[in-house]
């Protein structure tokens, strides 16, 4: 069976004119996308890790000294628009530019965005211009690189899910390293250096993709009349082969279930996306981040391991790719190798600097790396658990995700229970933030990949793309509400206490989870056999 699947993959690659060299049993072209996406996520999450803490940091320390409410309002609109523009970017690529050109345009615009943000010391207008460019560039980049991953495999390939898993690991590796290094340099050296560093790697990601784009063959080329006609024929054939004629009531019921899942996802991401907002404020002002003695030494070793091992792993992936395509695409490997050399230098410098520091102060942005770390370490275990131990229905998995993200905020509420009303600072143990990120990540693994899977399975094939677009729209709504809710942190804390603020955030997803459990039998019936 494996051999047959490999033969099918090779035939598909040949039909598309894609280089058939393999790395770890997958097309080498997948890993070009892997590194392109890795550097884009490095840039996005590196900047996001700094955004709120930069805005609320005192003027004397190089920040803008904004109030928490103002910073959260800007964060709300920025993150929501980041999830809205991919709808437009995907349409532009489909009709005008093609995926490859859209990715390059998006990467270039985001590079300009980072460069503009790095000039915030010259004028505040550069900072705002940078945010706008980041939003627009992300819209062109994000939906189209994911589409290219799917087209590397035939629809019936058993390796397609594994290919997306590898790609997902690239996303989290980039997010992890971006938050770790940009956050550290921004807080310890200078904000504009952190913003600028994120752009450097976006630039290298663009170059390695540009010089390796021919490896993708016909995938992602600018649409022409011929390619559009071919796409129409292929879609008709695929529809005839894959989709049976369903009764209207079945289609209606399944669409209702999708709508329920999307509404539930809003409650989840409303809480989950507090990471860059109210949880960042809690880390900065209310968490004990100065460590001494044995606790400081232990943290230094943990932080060193978290810095070096991920870089080592992705370097090994690059080495595997270089062995296959270095002769044919030397500049792709050269530019990626240069970026990795810089990463190694920065990582080594960071570890050296911390081990030689008199005291240990954990950066505010450090806590955000925990989500990516827990995903990388727990994702395969969750997959095996669903497969071998217990595989409940989609509504139950969604409910579990909502409950877990709520429990994370219950942990934060308990940690904040001794903080007086209206307090401007405190020194709560960092264990509560670590626990919160752990529960949030386990909740994400129950809900996020499951949601994408069920949209794919429940949607009529004729407009599955539209429903995926609505899924991103739901994320945009959630991000907006998350930021606006975070802007109320000071007001609620002054009147009722910080514990109450976190309990309110926890109550919403937990309430949604209980409703899903109550209606699970009805929703399962409305799925009409989809498990």
234 pLDDT above the threshold of 60: no
Distance CA 416, CA 286 (A): 8
Mean pLDDT within 419-428: 94
Among candidate residues 531, 353, 381, the one with its CA nearest the CA of residue 446? 381
Report the distance separating Cα 69 and Cα 515, nearest Å: 31
- What are residue 305's phi and psi, to 5 degrees? -65, -40
pLDDT of residue 2: 42
The reported pLDDT for the residue numbered 155 is: 67
Q: Residue 5: pLDDT above 60?
A: no
285-312 confidence digits (pLDDT tens) = 999 999 989 999 999 999 999 999 999 9
Distance CA(384)–CA(284), nearest Å, equals 37
- The pLDDT value recorded for residue 518 is 97
Confidence at residue 235, expressed as pLDDT on a 0 to 100 scale: 46
pLDDT, position 4: 42
Mean pLDDT score, 174-189: 94
Q: What is residue 359's predicted lDDT score, i.e. its pLDDT? A: 85
pLDDT tens-digit series, residues 72-111: 999 999 999 998 998 888 888 888 898 899 999 999 999 9
* 240 pLDDT above the threshold of 70: no
| Token code pair at residue 138 | 């992300």
pLDDT band, residue 244 (cuts 50/70/90): low
Where is mean pLDDT largest: 86-100, 453-467, 515-529?
A: 515-529
Does an H or E element contain 26, and which?
strand 26-27
The secondary structure of residue 394, as a DSSP letter, is H
List of residues 6+ apart from 86 with CB closer than 8 A: 138, 139, 142, 143, 469, 472
Res. 324: pLDDT tops 90: yes
* pLDDT on residue 95: 86
* Rounded CA separation 490/184 (Å): 26
Highest-confidence segment of 49-63, 138-152, 227-241, 506-520:
506-520
> Which range is least confidently modeled, 36-50, 343-357, 447-461?
447-461
pTM of the model: 0.88
Determine the Cα–Cα distance for residues 447 and 441; give it in Å rounded to an integer.
10
pLDDT at 457: 82
């Amino acid at each position: 069976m494996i051999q047959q699947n490999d033969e099918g993959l090779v035939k598909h690659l040949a039909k598309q004119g894609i280089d058939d060299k393999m790395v770890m049993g997958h097309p080498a072209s997948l890993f070009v996308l892997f590194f392109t996406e890795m550097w884009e996520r490095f840039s996005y999450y590196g900047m996001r890790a700094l955004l709120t803490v930069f805005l609320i940091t005192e003027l004397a320390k190089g920040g803008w000294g904004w109030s928490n409410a103002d910073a959260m309002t800007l964060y709300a609109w920025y993150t929501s628009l980041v999830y809205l523009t991919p709808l437009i970017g995907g349409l532009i690529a489909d009709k005008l530019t093609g995926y490859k050109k859209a990715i390059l345009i998006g990467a270039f615009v985001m590079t300009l965005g980072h460069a503009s943000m790095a000039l915030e010391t010259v004028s505040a207008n550069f900072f705002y211009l940078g945010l706008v460019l980041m939003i627009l560039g992300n819209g062109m980049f994000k939906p189209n690189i994911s589409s290219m991953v799917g087209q590397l495999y035939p629809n019936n390939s058993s390796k397609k899910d594994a290919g997306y898993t590898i790609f997902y690991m690239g996303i989290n590796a980039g997010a992890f390293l971006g938050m770790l290094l940009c956050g550290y340099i921004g807080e310890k050296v200078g904000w504009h250096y952190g913003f600028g560093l994120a752009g450097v790697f976006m630039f290298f990601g663009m170059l390695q993709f540009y010089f390796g784009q021919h490896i993708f063959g016909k995938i992602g080329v600018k649409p022409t009349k011929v390619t559009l006609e071919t796409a129409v024929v292929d879609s008709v054939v695929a529809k005839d082969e894959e989709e049976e004629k369903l009764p209207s009531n079945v289609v209606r019921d399944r669409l209702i279930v999708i709508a329920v899942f999307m509404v539930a996802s809003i409650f989840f991401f409303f809480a989950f996306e507090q990471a860059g907002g109210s949880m960042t404020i809690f880390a900065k002002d209310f968490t004990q981040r100065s460590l001494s003695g044995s606790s400081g030494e232990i943290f230094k070793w943990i932080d060193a391991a978290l810095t070096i091992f991920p870089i080592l792993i992705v370097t090994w992936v690059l080495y595997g790719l270089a062995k296959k395509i270095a002769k044919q695409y030397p500049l792709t490997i050269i530019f990626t190798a240069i970026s990795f050399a810089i990463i190694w230098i920065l990582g080594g410098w960071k570890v050296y600097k911390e081990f030689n520091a008199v005291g240990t102060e954990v950066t505010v942005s450090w806590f955000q790396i925990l989500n990516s770390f827990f995903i990388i370490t727990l994702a395969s275990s969750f997959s095996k658990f669903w497969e071998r131990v217990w595989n409940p229905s989609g509504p139950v998995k969604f409910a579990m995700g909502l409950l877990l993200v709520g429990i994370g905020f219950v942990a934060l509420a308990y940690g904040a229970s001794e903080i007086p009303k209206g307090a401007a600072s405190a020194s709560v143990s960092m264990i509560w933030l670590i626990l919160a990120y752990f529960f949030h990540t386990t909740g994400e693994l129950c809900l996020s990949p499951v949601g994408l899977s069920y949209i794919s399975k429940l949607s009529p094939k004729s407009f599955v793309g539209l429903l995926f677009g609505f899924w991103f729209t739901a994320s945009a709504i959630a991000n907006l509400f998350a930021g606006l809710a975070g802007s109320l942190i000071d007001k609620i804390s002054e009147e009722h206490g910080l514990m109450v603020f976190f309990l309110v955030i926890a109550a919403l997803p937990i309430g949604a989870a209980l409703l899903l459990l109550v209606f699970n039998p009805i929703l399962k019936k409305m799925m009409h056999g989809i498990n």
